[in-house]
Amino acid sequence: MSFPSRRGAIVTNTTVGSLYAERVAQAFANKGFTLSVIVIPDGEEYKTLSTVEYIYHELLRLNLDRKSFLLALGGGVITDITGFVASTFLRGIDYYQIPTSLLAQVDSSIGGKTGVNLEEGKNLVGTFYQPKGVWIDLSFLSTLPEREYREGLSEVLKAAFLEGGDFLALVEREKEVIMARDSLILEETVVRAVDFKRKIVEEDEREHGRRSILNYGHTIGHALEKALGYGVLRHGEAVALGMIGEAFLARTMGIETKRVLETQKAILDSFGLPTSLSLFCDHSTFCSALLKDKKKEAGKVRFVLLKDFGQPCVGIEVEEEKITEVISFLQGGKQ
């Protein structure tokens, strides 16, 4: 893999940086590179324009130029924010992804979406900007806390639900060894998830068509993250709840043809992911967050819903009254 220069910076957070930044910097130093390290706080609540500005100032302080490059070392927040910085600093410099969480390895490091959150909602400012390379090392996953590992499985399961067939059968059959982080099965699972997303992105990089199916679970999930306060739910947990909520919508609208909701709930439960909301979520706050979703068109929120596993339907408009029912369902479980 080629690099534009021998000078760059690692962008990481306090948690990952303390574990891996020195090791990565030294590995590059052994090859003749000089990498500085920029550390930001750990957490979704720091995925903001103020953090981006801080990184800009650090890059200028380090005298990096248009041929310098960035390494994103961390989970989804780091991959998103580093990509956004790279796409805008000096009108664009190269960057590379070293995702250290399962969620980042199977989702946020793949596809070139970058972004930061605003007070009004998640990922409302961003760019499409492809990394020059992505290194996926499963050994990073050995140090992940259990909750963080499980949230990454939500994105794996999302891909399996969308693809159906052999992929869905794989995760159902190998649940216990996946949960135990068995290296061989985990490698096969990650490869399947990455390959699924890669094919879709290659077909529709800018999300004008088929790529929108990857938003399954995210429309409701993002609104929950915003309504509850960033950091209350982890992203993957919100996506799991979002998939349940959107399966409920598919049933109430007569789109679902089989027992997708029950099967999906059973699989998510078996992987230790939330399928009901124990926290109070104000309906009006949730709907307000949903109506600011970046995917809305002509003032209407559009959903990805499953007719069956492997059969997503895109661009489905849902009336606000039905959306409000989702929160009641997630909090009470009534079908």
Structure tokens at 293: 């979703």
The rounded average pLDDT for each run of 10 residues, N- to C-terminus, in the chain (335 residues) is 93 97 97 98 96 98 97 98 98 98 97 94 95 96 95 98 98 97 95 97 94 96 94 96 97 93 97 95 89 71 95 91 89 64
Residue spans of the domains in the chain: they are: 7-142, 145-332
CA atoms of 198 and 318, how far apart (whole Å)? 29
256 is catalytic: no
Catalytic hit among 47, 122, 235, 251: 235
pLDDT for the residue numbered 214: 97
- Choices 3.65.10.10, 3.40.50.1970, 3.40.50.2300, 3.40.50.300: CATH for 7-142: 3.40.50.1970
The pTM for the full model equals 0.93
The question of whether 175 is a catalytic residue gets the answer: no
CATH for 145-332? 1.20.1090.10
215 is a catalytic site residue: yes
Name the residue among 328, 272, 309, 321 with its Cα closest to residue 169.
309
Choosing from 13, 47, 58, 113, the catalytic residue is 113
CA 160 – CA 177 distance, rounded (Å): 17
Angle between helix axes 183-203 and 165-173 (nearest 10 degrees) is 160
CA distance 81 to 21: 17
> Strand pairing partners for 40?
13
Instruction: Give the DSSP H or E segment for 168.
Output: helix 165-173
In angstroms, rounded to a whole number, what is the distance separating the alpha carbons of residues 257 and 166? 20
Which residue's entry shows tokens 């580093």?
A: 82
Q: Does 235 participate in catalysis according to the annotation?
A: yes
Q: List C-alpha distances in Å: 267 to 41, 154, 271, 279.
A: 33, 10, 6, 22
Active-site residue 222, yes or no?
yes
DSSP-based three-state secondary structure for 233: coil
Look-up: residue for tokens 């409920």?
248
The three-point CA angle 84-120-275 to 5° equals 90
pLDDT at residue 335, rounded to an integer? 45
What would the two tokens of residue 49 be? 């324009």
Q: What integer pLDDT is reported at residue 90 of this predicted model?
A: 98
Confirm whether 113 is a catalytic residue: yes
